[in-house]
Structure formats: C-alpha cells, structure tokens
Amino acid sequence: MNDTKRSGFGEFIRKSIVSLKRKPETISMVVLVIAFLIYSLNLTYISHTTARIQGPGMGLYGFITMLLSMLSFVCFTNSYPRRKKPNYAMICLMFVMFAIIIFCDIKYRGLITNALTRAENPIAEEDYITKAAKALNAHVIVLIIGAVLVALRPVIAKLIRSIKTSIEIEDNSGMGAIDISGND
C-alpha cells in the first residue's frame, strides 16, 4: 500500500512537471498572484494608515497600486496566448505597470516613514501602520521576484524541458509471433 501512495504522489509530480513544460509561465503567474494577495489582504491596514496619516497622494498611490495590479493580470494572460508566440507588447506594458506599482509602494512607504519621524507632531506608530509598512515591503519584494521570473521565462522553460518525464513501458519483445491467420 505504501508503494501505491508513492507512485500516486510520484505520478502527481510527473503530471505537474509535464503541465509546466507546456505552460512554464504558470510559475511566474503563481508568484504574481501571491504578490496581489499580499497587497489586497492587507488593504485594510493600508486604508487605515492612509486615513490616519493623510499624506499627500497616499490614497492615489494605493488606488494606482490596486488598479495596476489587476490590469497587470490582464496583460499577463494576453502576453502568452495558447499555441502562439508571446505578445511582446503586452509583456512590455506589464513591466511598465510593475515599475509604476513599485514606485507607488516605495512612495507610500516613504510617506509613512516621514509621518513617523517628522520633527513637529510625529504620528504615533500604531500596529496597523507597522503591518501596512511590512505588507508594502513584502509586496515590492514578491513583485520583483515575479517580474524576474517573467523575464527569465525562456530560461526556465528550457530548464523544465530538460527534466525527463517519460514513463518506462515494459518491453513486449518476448511475446513471440501473433497468429492472425484465423486457423484454429
């Protein structure tokens, strides 16, 4: 019974690798989804931080980040059409969106730092402000990793294709000749 579990798990891994051979961009898509989830699941902390600090452009930076995060998924899905060459215009547009998102996150993080460390009337550091700053840092890091994976897609595809996923089939040469003459 233990062998069937191993072979079932091994077969799952083999099928996953075969799927990645067909669509290697899945790896970068998963990382970009994680980046989106980091930002969107911490949006409450970011919104509370915006309301508390009320720095110039904080709400706009948050809005741009959320909007371009969703639009970058549209660009990503249109970048790799099925059974066609990659759409390089969409890939370039996606990288421009990534750069704008990273810029907005860094500016937002800078406004948090300025509000906490200004000379007159500094904002007291609340728990949600700290969580928002950490979420922004994590979002930028994971987004950069996703952008690097998108850029390295051809290299990753070659590495994945080099993995052997074929199944060894038993040899049938010992069966002998098959009589198909119909004489009994």
Three-state secondary-structure class, residue 177: coil
pTM of this prediction exceeds 0.95 = no
User: pLDDT tens, 126-141?
Assistant: 999 999 999 999 999 9
Q: What CATH number did the domain enclosing 136 receive?
A: 1.20.120
What is the spatial distance between Cα 181 and Cα 184, in angstroms, rounded to a whole number? 9
Q: Is residue 10 part of a domain?
A: no
Q: Quote the number of domains for the chain.
A: 1
Three-state secondary-structure class, residue 118: coil
Contact 92, 9 (CB under 8 A): no
pLDDT at 171: 60
Q: Is residue 83 part of a domain?
A: yes
- As a whole number, mean pLDDT of residues 80-105 equals 93
Q: Taking the chain, what is the end-to-end CA distance rounded to the nearest angstrom?
A: 43
Range of the domain at 82: 24-162
User: pLDDT tens, 13-34?
Assistant: 878 888 777 888 889 999 999 9
User: pLDDT tens, 31-55?
Assistant: 999 999 999 999 999 999 999 998 8
What is the spatial distance between Cα 148 and Cα 97, in angstroms, rounded to a whole number? 14
Q: Is residue 29 part of a domain?
A: yes
Q: Is residue 28 part of a domain?
A: yes
HEC profile of 120-162: CCCCCCCHHHHHHHHHHHHHHHHHHHHHHHHHCHHHHHHHHHC
Helix 58-79 to helix 43-53 angle (10° resolution) is 150
DSSP state of 119: S
